[in-house]
């Protein structure tokens, strides 16, 4: 009997890549999105990649409890992966109430409906909960630190909400927290990828938009950090590797392989890469010259963080396999696809 997975925010960057991998792994997927932060490009791309024209799409807002309840009544949801949230760090600092209201309300509604239905819950968390770690690499036991933005704080709060609700449910509700490091790249088909609205906050879309000529110049925020080349270190994980981690996590839940009712896994490569290394790799692998300059540090940036992914590797059997070069090639192919090149 095929299992059904609801992907909230499933038309977005991570959601669309996860939908592809779930379908290709044999799951039925329901995509639900309010399209507040993306258009139909990626959803249409998912249909082309999978060859499945009849993927159920529910256009709805997860802050609307009635709509969420109706969704869980309409489909036999075995597991829900919750992506639907606002995610711009800078915007969350300027508009905290918008972020707390949307990101917490939507998750509370999903959790309540999942608990009623007995669906497993997978929450899209972030390495941002570690703040500036005292030591690297970080494991799942590394203490979380106060978030440096309301966006990051909504991740921390949602982790606690899931943990407490699972504990009180005495085995009726189970869930997994996946802490992503820095998701980058695009599907090798170049039919889905990152589609930031306006000026990209994140590094790789800014790089590709600069290379294609949409942006004048990339600013590298700070080259005076205590790192080998002075620029920040991150754990950049290929979006397809990240998407596959969700398939491993869903099967762990629905096939009864969980060892605790609420589990947390770091989803990273375990390999630190600096901003400058990423820029140089992008230029080399794509044969393009990037216009960049060094600029002052960006407030709130962490000097260095990367994952110890051992737990996900051993417990879930998942491991990142794509190289940074492959990922940057796919990112560039996606940008060229968007430009019709």
Q: Which residues are catalytic?
A: 151
Question: Token pair of 98, please?
Answer: 């918008």
298-317 residues in contact with ligand WQD (CB under 6 A) are 298, 301
Smallest gap from residue 338 Cβ to ligand WQD (A): 18
The pair phi, psi for residue 138, each rounded to 5°, is -95, 140
Which of 110, 312, 305, 270 has the alpha carbon at shortest distance from 102?
110
Give whichever of 91 and 301 is closer to ligand WQD, judged by the CB atom. 301
Among 105, 139, 219, 313, binds ligand WQD (CB under 6 A): 219
DSSP 136: S
What whole-number distance in Å separates Cα of residue 176 and Cα of residue 106? 17
Smallest gap from residue 61 Cβ to ligand WQD (A): 20
Give whichever of 82 and 87 is closer to ligand WQD, judged by the CB atom. 87
77-106 residues in contact with ligand WQD (CB under 6 A) are 87, 89
Query: Which regions of 192-311 does DSSP assign to beta strands (E)?
Result: 218-221, 233-234, 236-238, 262-267, 273-274, 292-295
The pair phi, psi for residue 108, each rounded to 5°, is -60, -40
Q: Total residues contacting ligand WQD (rule CB under 6 A)? A: 18
Query: Which residue in this structure is represented by tokens 């110049």?
Result: 217
What whole-number distance in Å separates Cα of residue 168 and Cα of residue 123? 18
Give whichever of 105 and 202 is closer to ligand WQD, judged by the CB atom. 202
Which of 179, 112, 185 has the alpha carbon at shortest distance from 147?
179
Q: Which stretch binds ligand WQD (CB under 6 A): 91-99, 108-116, 171-179, 214-222?
A: 214-222
Give whichever of 113 and 186 is closer to ligand WQD, judged by the CB atom. 186
Residue 26 falls in which region: left (phi positive, over 0), alpha (psi -120 to 50) or beta: left
Give whichever of 214 and 298 is closer to ligand WQD, judged by the CB atom. 298
Question: Token pair of 124, please?
Answer: 């899209």
Tell me if 217 sits within 8 A of 292, measured CB to CB: yes
230-249 residues in contact with ligand WQD (CB under 6 A) are 232, 234
Assign 14 to helix, strand or coil.
helix
Q: Considering only the C-alpha atoms of the chain, give the largest distance between any 2 of them, rounded to a whole number of Å.
A: 57
Smallest gap from residue 201 Cβ to ligand WQD (A): 5
Give whichever of 110 and 203 is closer to ligand WQD, judged by the CB atom. 203
DSSP 20: H
Number of C-beta neighbours around residue 287 at 10 A:
7
Query: From residue 331, how far is each of 162, 207, 328 by CA, in Å?
Result: 33, 9, 5
Smallest gap from residue 298 Cβ to ligand WQD (A): 5
Smallest gap from residue 26 Cβ to ligand WQD (A): 28
Smallest gap from residue 250 Cβ to ligand WQD (A): 20
Among 81, 275, 307, 330, binds ligand WQD (CB under 6 A): 275
174-213 residues in contact with ligand WQD (CB under 6 A) are 182, 201-203, 206
Q: Which residues pair with 82 in a beta bridge?
A: 8, 123
Number of C-beta neighbours around residue 271 at 10 A:
18
111-170 residues in contact with ligand WQD (CB under 6 A) are 126, 128
227 binds ligand WQD (CB under 6 A): no
Q: Which helix (H) or strand (E) holds 175?
A: strand 175-180
Give whichever of 250 and 275 is closer to ligand WQD, judged by the CB atom. 275
Smallest gap from residue 326 Cβ to ligand WQD (A): 18
Binding residues (CB under 6 A) for ligand WQD: these are: 87, 89, 126, 128, 182, 201-203, 206, 218-221, 232, 234, 275, 298, 301
């Amino acid at each position: 009997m095929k299992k059904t997975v609801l992907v909230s925010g499933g038309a977005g960057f991570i959601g669309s890549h996860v939908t592809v991998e779930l379908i290709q792994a044999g799951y039925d997927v329901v995509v639900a999105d309010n399209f507040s932060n993306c258009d139909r490009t990626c959803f249409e791309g998912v249909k082309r990649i999978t060859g499945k024209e009849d993927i159920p799409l529910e256009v709805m807002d997860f802050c609307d409890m009635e709509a969420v309840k109706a969704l869980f009544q309409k489909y036999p949801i075995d597991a829900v992966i919750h992506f639907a949230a606002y995610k711009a760090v800078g915007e969350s600092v300027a508009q905290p109430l918008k972020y707390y209201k949307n990101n917490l309300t939507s998750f509370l509604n999903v959790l309540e409906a999942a608990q009623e239905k007995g669906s497993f819950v997978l929450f899209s968390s972030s390495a941002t909960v570690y703040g500036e770690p005292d030591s690297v690499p970080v494991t799942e036991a590394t203490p979380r630190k106060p978030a440096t933005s309301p966006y990051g704080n909504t991740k921390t709060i949602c982790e606690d909400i899931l943990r407490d609700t699972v504990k009180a449910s005495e085995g009726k509700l189970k869930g997994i927290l996946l802490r992503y490091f820095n998701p980058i790249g695009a599907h090798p088909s170049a039919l889905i990828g990152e589609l930031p609205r306006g000026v990209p906050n994140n590094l790789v879309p800014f790089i590709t938009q600069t290379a294609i000529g949409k942006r004048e110049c990339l600013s590298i925020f700070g080259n005076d950090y205590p790192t080998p080349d002075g620029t920040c270190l991150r754990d950049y994980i290929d979006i397809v590797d990240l998407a596959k981690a969700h398939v491993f996590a869903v099967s762990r839940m629905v096939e009864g392989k969980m060892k605790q009712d609420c589990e947390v896994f770091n989803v990273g490569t375990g390999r630190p890469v600096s901003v400058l290394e990423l820029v140089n790799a992008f230029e080399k692998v794509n044969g393009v010259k990037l216009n960049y300059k060094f600029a002052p540090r960006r407030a709130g940036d962490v000097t260095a963080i990367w994952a110890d992914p051992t737990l996900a590797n051993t417990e879930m059997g998942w491991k990142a396999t794509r190289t940074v070069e492959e990922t940057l090639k796919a990112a560039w192919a996606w940008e060229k696809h968007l430009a019709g090149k």
